[in-house]
Amino acid sequence: MSEPRDYDAEERDDGDFSDMLSEMRILLPGAQMLSAFLIILPFNTGFSKIVHLEKQLFLATFLFSLASLVLLSAPAIQHRLMRPLKDRAGFKRVATRQIVAGAFTLAIALVLGTNLVMSEVFGLTIGLIVSALMAVLILCAWWLLPLWLKRRI
């Protein structure tokens, strides 16, 4: 008979999905709201009046938004289809990559959506400036700050 293995805290956490569930509860509603807004946008009467470049921007925003929905919801669907999980830690590693990829596509959709709205309301120059500021905010808050904190600890 083999001796029971002494798991450290990080290994025990690899099998716990509560942190991922909490993260998805934060990210998914934002992706859903953006996608819902973008789905109804072409049906508004003024949409036909926007220029071709703005329609291409809309298309890119819409596709990144949908990609974020697919990537952010994938771990939940995969978890349900793969039950019972044989390698919980391995599944969590793959799911984490999908969530990060979903957050990345959501970030792009948010920046493009900001540009789309601000350009339509205030003009191209303001749209580019505000979307660049949004990109910097997302870059700092979502990506650089966690890396800095991780190194600091």
For 43-72, write each residue's pLDDT tens digit. Answer: 988 888 888 988 999 999 999 999 999 999
Average of per-residue pLDDT values in the chain: 87
pLDDT of residue 50: 87
pLDDT of residue 107: 96
What's the rounded mean pLDDT across residues 10-35? 76
Tokens matching residue 46: 């003024």
Q: For residue 76, what are the contacts with CB-CB under 8 A and spacing of at least 6?
A: 24
pLDDT of residue 80: 84
Q: How confident is the model at residue 15 (pLDDT cuts 50, 70, 90)?
A: low
Phi-psi region of 125 (alpha: psi -120 to 50; beta: other; left: phi over 0): alpha
What's the rounded mean pLDDT across residues 66-89? 89
pLDDT of residue 132: 98
pLDDT of residue 86: 86
* Domain map (residue ranges) of the chain: 9-152
Report whether pLDDT(11) > 80.
no
What's the rounded mean pLDDT across residues 64-88? 90
CA–CA gap between residue 119 and residue 127 (Å, rounded): 4
pLDDT of residue 1: 52
